[in-house]
Structure 1
Amino acid sequence: MYTVIGIGVMANALLLLVHISLHITGQRPKPTDLPIGLLALIHLVILLIKGFIAADIFTPQGGRWDDLTCKFLIYLYRLMREFSICATCLLSVLHAITLIPRSSCLAKFKHKSSHHNLCFLLFLWVFYSSFSSHLFISIAATPNLTSDNIMYVTESCSFIPMTFFLWHSLSTLITFREASLIGIMTLSDGYMVALLCRHKRQPSVSTALARLQYHPQN
């Protein structure tokens, strides 16, 4: 467990340093550099938090966390995961935008600055993370007494049981949230596949026209 976390930390730290060095040297950044650099930073934070959580899972004798520590670490871990999903969604959209032909009405989005991309990413993150605010209420330090209704997250933290109505409402909202971002990424990937397939067929059409020019029909 700790070996995998260590390898992931080193890989993401190296990727983050590469993007920072490109920015320091004054090279012109690509539109996709921002989400890639952010993903490296986000994954680095996620792996570090995972290390803390794993320490509480596998070494419970080290002392229990208090209520504030449980809420902070679990909620931060969830926020970083959601930020990672939003950055991946933005990266998928930017990849699709780079393939847009100049004749398309969507070509104007190619010239959007990193500031606009960051604003869009923050909007996605706020929208996505707004459905996770219930963690401040549902996450708490595990009580000393045992109960069958408690769902353990780590040795020190657990989920407080919610009412059926609240659980059903949150499940519906989370399903809507996931479907929204998956829909955006699906549309972006589908658009890229369609453009690449059309681009692949174009040389065949050009070759056929050239053959007709050199070998006209009698």
Structure 2
Amino acid sequence: MTSMDMKFVILFLFPVVIGSLGNFSLLYHYIFISFSEQRTMPTYFILRHLTVANLLVILSRGIPETMAALGIEDFLNNFWCKLIFYVLMVGKGVSFSTTCLLSVFQAITISPRSTRWVELKVRALKCIRSFPSIFWVLHMLANIRVPMLVTDKRHNKNITNTIDYQYCSAAISSKEINYIFMALSLSHDIFCLELMMWSSSSMVFILYQHKQQTQYIHRYKSSSVSSPETRAVQSILLLVCAFVSFYVLSSIMNVWFSLFDRSAWWLVKTSALTHVYFPTISSFIFMTHDQCVCKPMWKK
């Protein structure tokens, strides 16, 4: 094993272990709350789906990459290659959509008590639980072509028009087909990003207004201790920055794979790292984010 392989073992083993523990802890926490409390917040329901999706992404990409870096060859047959990449793409899509849903719902939750917002809150509470299930179904259908493109290394006869993942291979479709699927994917992603940026900006604005209105309460507090509003703003900004950063990197990788017949080895590894590190980091961001802004601040 070379020193470069050992570095990738460490880079992928970290999210597999730490990311899995973080997301399993969150999942256990929200499941425990749902059984222990008679009425749970809809945010916890969304986060359960999000943690499951994040776990699927981490395990389906992190474990094979770690085994490949360890020098293990031909450990996946054709069936498992198709299944793992299908689970990866579905989990990635659901994670994206659910993160957007969570951000929008929290913006509605912490909105001021006005007639317009109260009516929107009531409607959101009625239909919020159906959205995660819809996301799973939509992304399962949208990625139905993934198993058709992925094969194991032994069944791959075309070495020029494929992406080599060391343990599996993905065929590259014609550019016309790629353009269609890329346009559909980008339209969905851009819409979700716009919603997420709008909701996050709204939360920052609402929290800032609330802080200004209640500033006299914190006047005699120590300046070294940040207020709940400040911690909430910091968590929202951190979450959005992390999400956008990893999304941009992942999009660059996807565009490269879609437009060019050959992919560099370092691009494949970079794409894999972007897949596993955002679900790992987001689990710990959500622990703080949940404590800060899950509950309405104007609830008496």
- The question of a shared fold, defined as TM-score above 0.5 by the shorter chain, is answered with yes
Q: Which runs of 5+ in 2 are unaligned?
A: 1-11, 216-300
The structural deviation recorded for 1:87 is 1.5
1:148 corresponds, among 141, 145, 160, to: 160
> 2:157, 2:140 → 1: CA distance?
32
**Matching residue's letter, 1:193:** V
| Conservation of the 8 A alpha-carbon contact between 1:34 and 1:114 | no
Indicate the SS of the match to 1:151.
strand
Q: State the shift of 1:129 in Å.
A: 5.2
Farther-moved stretch of structure 1 (90-99 vs 4-13): 4-13
Q: Does 1:111 align with 2:125?
A: no
**1:56-205 alignment, distance < 5 Å:** 56-59=67-70, 61-111=72-122, 116-128=127-139, 130-142=141-153, 143=155, 145=157, 147-152=159-164, 154-202=165-213
CA distance in 2, matches of 1:62, 1:68: 16
| Counterpart Cα distance in 2 of 1:109 and 1:30 | 16
Counterpart of 2:15? 4
Specify the alignment match of 2:48 in structure 1.
37
Q: Is the 8 A contact 1:64 1:155 kept in 2?
A: no
CA–CA separation in structure 2 for the residues paired with 1:67 and 1:16:
31
Closer, same or farther: CA 148–113 of 1 in aligned 2, 3 Å: closer
**Distance of 2:156 and 2:140 partners within structure 1:** 31
Per-residue deviation, residues 51-92 of structure 1 (Å, max 9, x unmatched): 432255224544342322111110101111111112211110
Letter aligned with residue 149 of structure 1 = N
Question: For residues 62 and 147 of structure 1, what CA distance do their matches in structure 2 show?
Answer: 17
Q: Is the 8 A contact 1:71 1:140 kept in 2?
A: yes
TM-score, normalization by structure 1? 0.79
Query: CA separation in 2, counterparts of 1:43 and 1:133?
Result: 20
Query: Which residue of the partner structure matches residue 50 of structure 1?
Result: 61
Give the conservation status (yes or no) of the 8 Å contact 1:16–1:40: yes
What letter corresponds to residue 162 of structure 2 in structure 1?
I
Amino acid across the alignment from 1:151: I
One-letter amino acid of the structure 1 residue matched with residue 65 of structure 2: A
CA contact (8 A) 1:150 1:161 kept: yes
Contact 2:42 2:129 in 1 (8 A): no
**In structure 1, what residue type is equivalent to 2:197?**
T
Please tell me the residue identity of whatever aligns with 1:67.
Answer: N
User: What RMSD in Å do the two structures reach over aligned CA positions?
Assistant: 2.6
Q: Specify whether residues 191 and 113 from structure 1 end up closer, same or farther in structure 2 by C-alpha distance, changes over 3 A only.
A: closer
Deviation at 1:21, TM superposition (A): 1.8
Question: Residues 86 and 147 of structure 2 are in contact (CA less than 8 Å); yes or no, is this contact kept in structure 1?
Answer: yes
1:146/1:55 CA distance change after superposition, 3 Å: farther
What do residues 123-178 of structure 1 show as CA deviations (whole Å, max 9, x unaligned)? 344445544333132222234656222211x2232121211211111111111111
Tell me, yes or no, if the aligned pair for 2:64 and 2:167 is still in contact at 8 Å: no
User: Which amino acid counterpart does residue 180 of structure 2 have in structure 1?
Assistant: S
Q: What is the CA–CA distance in structure 2 between the aligned matches of 1:106 and 1:123, rounded to whole Å?
A: 25
- Give the AA of the match of 2:160: D
